[in-house]
Structure 1
Amino acid sequence: MPDPRVQQLIDQLGETEFVEVKNWLGGLAERDEQARLAKEIIALANSGGGYVILGFTDDEGQGHQPIEPQQNEATGFTQDNISAAVHRYCTPAIQCGVELYRQADGDIDHPVIQVPAANRVPVFAARQSPDNRTLTNGTVYVRRPGGNSEPCRTQDDWERLLERLVHSRQDELMNAIRNVLNPDHEFAPAAEEEAFDNWVETSRTARNEVLADLPDGHPLRLQDGHYEVAFSINPFQEPDIAELNRNLAQNRPRHSGWAPFVCLHSNGMAPRPMGDVIQAWLVGEEERDRDPFYSDFWRLSASGDGYLARAMQEDEPDFGANLAPRPYRPGFDWELPIYRMTEMLKLIEWLGLNYASAESAFQLRVTYHGMNGRRLTLHRLRYMMPRGAMAHQESISSEISGHIGEIALNTEEMIQSLLRPVFAQFDFADLPRQLVENIVQDVVGFRQ
């Protein structure tokens, strides 16, 4: 439904600190025009959000007259094209919406791009524009009174920006505390929980199908041990599957050399479209001698559901080979689960901020298979942790839920809540909070 506030803006058109008026920008066919749009989006986001209204003359002195679009200009402002421009020129990328509006006495459909406010860190230009003038790599742009988008230069510019970001973080923190002390809703009502369970079972079935031709006991079946992670984000914007795949391959967060949802494109390992699901098995069509520890199977749906099955790194032949005595085998490392689940949580956060909102709920479930008889161990000597406690059941599961906007504030608490019950199955071992905090900071601070 049309937003009456936006309709009023377009009927009484004028540039302000929160409204930018542009011509058709060539339908975003050229990189220079994409950079021009990105500059306005960056400036608006850093100034509290706003709108870019397209299809009018830029000269405010003449009253912003509507312009008839040339061929293909009007069709260039799709959600995918706008997202592509944002992901190319803005960091961190933000999710902008677009809708068509007509002036009350007009007959032209004008794209109106809604730009959300930057709510945790400033938005920067991610690269230089092709003309070397419109955008400068690493620059923060802001809106000035009167409607100009310019680099953040003066002390007043920075004070206003930082004050707004600090207030935003305070609001997030207070909301997170309120949700903990006084939850007012279920994160996963029964219908959603059933849908989540169905997603997990469907994903397991899909994995069994790609394994069907392998003989029983083949290393790629990971029968000695593996873990699976499933998550769901709701509500989710359901992006075009091609745009989701492109964004995942190019922009997903990487906090290690082998982050979750790895995208490879050689020997038949590229992700494949399966309806509204992206599916990948990192094993080539004729590559049955693939190293099982790099044979991830994963799925990601346009509805915000994800699934990953991965080998236990602790089962690698050279795991802890530099230590004496060698780590327990089969083992369960104190550090690795914290590292991997933090990576997954940050991926969920990235997906939520790109295709949902800070208020969207998520749930995350991890299940470790092949656990009976495994012992707690260490693969390096950074921490002095007790070793040898044993698990006594074949599978161990745990799950958490929360809001996307709470992840950055409560990462350590969420990881502690997710993994403490897992470690407790090793003869009642207690997961130290300080260990979690240290490793989470290692993940967040990782640089390739």
Structure 2
Amino acid sequence: MVNNNIADRLADVLGEPREGLDVEVKNWLDLRSDEDAKAIFAKAALALANHGGGIIIFGMSEAAEGMIPAPGRPATLDGYGVDLLNGIIHNYADPAFHCAVHLRPGPDGQVYPMVVIPGGHRVPVRSKRGGPNGKIVRDNSIYLRRPGPRSETPQTSQDWDALLGRCLAHRRDEMFDQIRALITGAVPAASLPTPPDQLVEWIERSKARWRRLRDTLPAGAPERCPHGFMWYAFELGGSRRRLPGSQFSETLRSAEVNLSGWPPFWYPTRSGIKPYPFEGLVECWIGGDTEEGYSNHGAGFADFWRVSPEGMGFFLRGYREDDLAGGRGIPPEPGTWTEIEWPVATTAEVIFYIESLAARMVEGPASVRLSCAYTGMDGRHLRSLTGRYLHPRVARQDVIELDATFSAEAVAPNIAEIVQPLLAPFYTAFDFFDLPMSLVTEVIGKLRQRSY
């Protein structure tokens, strides 16, 4: 449903179409197969996003008497679907954003696609790739609307001042929202439309699938994770977009969030480890690398993950600690220790990925149910490689299970407030260790700076 303000704005713009700083008019473009056309649309969308939002109208051309219907009207408007247009934006824009598409009748009675580009971005939106042959859109460039109107890169200090001023204003508003949330203790949570048993069944099927793959490895392979492993599983709630085969695979690739160098849900392209379709979902088994000339490096790199078009995800990995056994200041036996910061870093990176994926898979607000577990914990000591936490603490239970529900929109402003209570029971299992919020915020800060 379109709210009245937007509906009135669309009617006004189409009733007397003309280009302005917040309105871009385009001819009919083949957005399915013409790469130049895709770049033309992407450039206009990037510029309007940095301007503070706007509207793109397809099917008009400029004449002496003003805007008139463009020739070459397609037989159907299927080539202007919301999934197709957002797929183009996600391929070009960093950070990605979601546009809305409305079909509205013009003065001539014909229907025209109108794309609403959102504003309100905290940082300038840049192009993360170039157009065909480096034309139309340049790689790693920022576009904005300039008088003409034209979509161009910033030309003057005034252009930069206006752009950064808008971003800082939006960042300030978000900061005040965070302060209010902290004062009230509000981390928005949303109920899922599906019963929890669906996630439980998904977890059991995913673990069984991993065990079948693991059993194909040699008996002594460290990638079998003999000393334990962690797993994370999630379910997205909300109005999910329909993403067919290749588009779903591309969505997962574009959703990747790499803050650590070896991120959860990494989407590799090398033939021995690249994701593949399996029973209607996308699956990746890095632990079973089959390409000649490559080898894995232990349990901490033996990732297994899978994501379904229904918004279910699963990720499993062994422990880097077990690969480092016997190093300087490190116990000689694997399965005997846990680094105090690493569960925070992994959990935060998983949640950042869920946020990124939800923005691509769910139309509007998205709820998240997250479950995770750490196995092989019995007898492990909590240690700090930096030496900041000097008192050894030990866990006496083998499996530590955790869960949380939250809104995907809450991740950016409240990531620490999601991670800390989720992991607190894990750390409590180590002789009642209280997980400090300062440790959580410090680790997340290093992740965001890509210095972890």
> Into which bin does the TM-score normalised by the smaller protein fall?
0.7 to 0.9
8 Å contact from structure 1 (residues 263, 270) kept in 2: yes
The CA deviation at 1:259 is 0.9
The CA deviation at 1:338 is 1.7
The equivalent of 2:310 in structure 1 is: 303
Q: Greater shift after overlay, 214-223 or 15-24?
A: 214-223
8 Å contact from structure 2 (residues 187, 417) kept in 1: no
8 Å contact from structure 1 (residues 228, 307) kept in 2: yes
Q: 1:99 to 1:223 in 2, by over 3 A?
A: farther
8 Å contact from structure 2 (residues 32, 84) kept in 1: yes
**221, 225, 228: which one aligns with 1:222:** 225
Q: How many residue pairs get matched?
A: 443
The equivalent of 2:360 in structure 1 is: 354
Distance 2:223 2:131 in 1: 46
The equivalent of 2:399 in structure 1 is: 395
The equivalent of 1:207 in structure 2 is: 210
**337, 353, 359: which one aligns with 1:331:** 337
Distance 1:412 1:186 in 2: 15
Letter in 2 for 1:427: D
Distance 1:324 1:366 in 2: 26
Task: State the secondary structure of the residue aligned to 1:321.
Answer: coil
Q: 1:135 to 1:58 in 2, by over 3 A?
A: farther
8 Å contact from structure 2 (residues 82, 100) kept in 1: yes
Pair 1:425 & 2:429 matched = yes
Letter in 2 for 1:93: A
Letter in 2 for 1:193: P
The CA deviation at 1:396 is 0.8
Q: 1:27 to 1:365 in 2, by over 3 A?
A: closer
Per-residue deviation, residues 376-420 of structure 1 (Å, max 9, x unmatched):
123x3x342125311111211223333333322233333222222
Task: State the secondary structure of the residue aligned to 1:342.
Answer: helix
Task: State the secondary structure of the residue aligned to 1:401.
Answer: strand
**243, 246, 253: which one aligns with 2:247:** 243
Q: 1:268 to 1:153 in 2, by over 3 A?
A: closer
Q: 1:2 to 1:430 in 2, by over 3 A?
A: closer
The equivalent of 1:135 in structure 2 is: 137
8 Å contact from structure 1 (residues 22, 58) kept in 2: no
Distance 1:278 1:131 in 2: 31
Distance 1:427 1:184 in 2: 28
Task: State the secondary structure of the residue aligned to 1:162.
Answer: helix
State percent identity of aligned pairs. Answer: 29
8 Å contact from structure 2 (residues 376, 398) kept in 1: yes
Distance 2:75 2:451 in 1: 41
**4, 9, 14: which one aligns with 2:13:** 9
Per-residue deviation, residues 29-80 of structure 1 (Å, max 9, x unmatched):
3333322211110111112222211111144x43322124367995543445
8 Å contact from structure 1 (residues 172, 405) kept in 2: no
Pair 1:149 & 2:169 matched = no
> Which 4+ residue blocks in structure 1 deviate beyond 6 angstroms?
70-73, 214-218
8 Å contact from structure 1 (residues 39, 149) kept in 2: yes
- Stretches of structure 1 that go unaligned for 5 or more consecutive residues are none
The equivalent of 1:364 in structure 2 is: 370
| TM-score computed with the length of structure 2 as normaliser | 0.83
Q: 1:190 to 1:177 in 2, by over 3 A?
A: farther
Letter in 2 for 1:347: Y
Task: State the secondary structure of the residue aligned to 1:360.
Answer: strand
Q: 1:187 to 1:75 in 2, by over 3 A?
A: closer
Per-residue deviation, residues 225-267 of structure 1 (Å, max 9, x unmatched):
1001122333253341422322333561211232111234556
Q: 1:358 to 1:400 in 2, by over 3 A?
A: farther
- Stretches of structure 2 that go unaligned for 5 or more consecutive residues are none
Q: Greater shift after overlay, 152-161 or 419-428?
A: 152-161
